[in-house]
Amino acid sequence: MFLRTKDYYKQIASDNLDQVLKQARSISGDTEVLAISELSNIEYIKNFISGRYRVNDIFDNLKTFSILTNYYYGDRINLTADDFNALTAYIVGDRVASNGIVYECILNSTGNLPTDATYWDVLGLDGIYYIAYPDKFDDRVFYNVGDRVNVDYVVYERITNSGYIEGKVPTDTNYWQVITKANYTAVNGVLPSNVAWMYGDNRNLTIVTLLIDFCLYDIHSIINPRNIPELRQQRYNNSIAFLQGVNKGDYNMDLPSYGAQKGYQLRLGSNEPFNNIY
């Protein structure tokens, strides 16, 4: 999924979220109402922004870390686990969290604390990690052969110094080449605690907030569509208005784009997007 349950706590207390989800699940008969709402509303947001931004990159899911997986620029993982329980029998590969740190079992264990290196490996802090893109291109910088930059999250590499001066834009194929995903320096076989990973959230926080607004509105709609809390209704309306502005070109977002001219109005069609979840 794109969101974590913890993300919702920025707008609603955990106890309150549990309560409204319990009500929504009992009414809909579906235990996955939140996940379904998230998927539906991702598609809804895509309707507004897909004409300008690369939505598949924007909504790339949080992955579960595996040391056997190749990771590339922009990839993100959600490193988390259930809290350690001294009464539980753990087997190799199981993960637990203790004091904000995630551990993986390397030798079957019952009662051995995660700090016991005989039985547990430290994976890293509980949270999101990502592979950072190279810095954005700066026309004031002199780049050397092998340097990489990004323009709208497309990666370019300097291929020659001959005749190069500052300001040669990466689209100039005399000096730069596009580095396709297949040729990225893959991160493989290292733990999230390795310097190859950045600890932090590289999701666009405006997108995260919009998606939470829509999902919470949906959950309340399931409970009672005629009695949605005023706060949820207002945030929903504000989110719609903002996305309409993005769709018209009134607002620009720091997102992977197709390089459309700033301020150019792109419309997806004559009809306004609508939400099919209801």
- Taking only the tens place, the pLDDT of each residue in 193-246 is 888 899 999 899 999 999 999 999 999 999 998 999 999 999 999 999 999 999
How far apart are alpha carbons 74 and 179 in whole angstroms?
Answer: 14
Residue 20 lies in a domain: yes
Q: Residue 162: its pLDDT value, please?
A: 78
Q: What is the CATH number of the domain that holds 104?
A: 2.10.10.20
Task: Give me the percent of the chain exceeding a pLDDT of 90.
Answer: 61
> Measuring CA to CA, how many Å separate 136 from each of 9, 132, 147, 159, 254?
32, 11, 12, 17, 12
DSSP code at position 69: S
Q: Which long-range contacts (CB under 8 A, 24 or more apart) does 17-26 make?
A: 20/216, 20/219, 20/220, 20/223, 21/219, 23/223, 24/219, 24/222, 24/223
> What tens digit of pLDDT does each residue of 4-55 get?
999 999 999 999 999 999 999 999 888 899 999 999 999 999 999 998 898 9
Q: Do 52 and 97 belong to one domain?
A: no
Residue 159 has pLDDT above 60, yes or no: yes
Classify each residue of 149-158 as buried b or exposed e, where b means 16 or more C-beta atoms within 10 Å of its C-beta: bbbebbbbbb
The rounded percent of the chain whose pLDDT value lies above 70 is: 92
The whole domain housing 101 covers: 81-125
Same domain, 9 and 49: yes
Task: Give per-residue pLDDT as tens, 53-93.
Answer: 989 889 989 999 998 888 888 889 999 999 999 999 999 99
Same domain, 52 and 85: no
Asked if residue 236 belongs to a domain, the reply is yes
Given a contact cutoff of 8 angstroms between Cβ atoms, the answer to whether 218 and 40 are in contact is yes
The token pair at 127 is 């949270």
Reported as a single tens digit per residue, the pLDDT across 181-196 is 767 766 777 888 888 8
Mean pLDDT of the chain: 87
pLDDT at 263 over 70: no
Q: How many domains are contained in the chain?
A: 2
The pTM for the full model equals: 0.78
Domain end marker among 69, 97, 125: 125
- Give pLDDT, residue 259: 62
Residue 256 lies in a domain: no
pLDDT at 20: 92
